Structure 1
Amino acid sequence: MAKTSPIQFIQQVRAETRKVTWPTRKETMVTTAMVFVMVFLACVFFFAVDQIIQFGIGLILQIG
């Protein structure tokens, strides 16, 4: 593995960060909104599944 001096390392890091394409404010807001929507849908889904399983177990325990 080649040794890199600290100055070369910093130069390489700066060169790489220039290549990064940062998201716009609008892209960030849309992505954040989509994350919140997906979290909400996951919450609803798991709540529904939990209620169905709870109902099924309740039926099974009432039989015995």
Structure 2
Amino acid sequence: MAKNNPFTFLQQTRQEVAKVSWPTRRETAVTTVMVFIMVAIASIFFLLTDQLMAEGVKLLLGLGF
């Protein structure tokens, strides 16, 4: 395994970073908003599922009124 000095390492790192296709500010904003929307949808889904299961357990155990 060849050993590189720190200068060579930094040079190679810069070359690799230059190859990266960075998202635009707009793409980042749209993706962030979509993540928040999906989190809200998932939260509502799991809240409703949990409530439904809780009611089912109460009904099964005779704890419901």
Using the size of structure 1 for normalisation, the TM-score is 0.91
With CA pairs under 8 Å and 6+ residues apart, which has the higher RCO, 1 or 2? 2
Q: Deviations over 1:4-61 (max 9, x none)?
A: 1111101001111111111111101110011001100110110011011100000011
d(CA) in 2 for partners of 1:50, 1:6: 54
Opposite residue 36 of structure 1, the aligned amino acid is: F
2:50 corresponds in structure 1 to: 50
Question: What's the TM-score, normalizing by structure 2?
Answer: 0.90
Q: C-alpha distance in 2, partners of 1:29/1:22?
A: 13
Across the two proteins, how many residue pairs are aligned to each other?
A: 63
Superposition pairs for residues 1-64 of structure 1, below 5 Å?
A: 1-62=1-62
Distance 2:40 2:2 in 1: 49
Where does the alignment leave 5 or more consecutive residues of structure 2 unmatched?
Answer: none
SS of equivalent to 1:55:
helix
Secondary structure at the counterpart of residue 59 of structure 1? helix
What's the % identity of the aligned pairs?
52
Q: Report deviation, 1:2.
A: 1.4
Structure 2 CA distance for aligned equivalents of residues 34 and 2 of structure 1:
45
Q: Could you tell me which runs of 5 or more consecutive residues in structure 1 were left unpaired when the two chains were aligned.
A: none
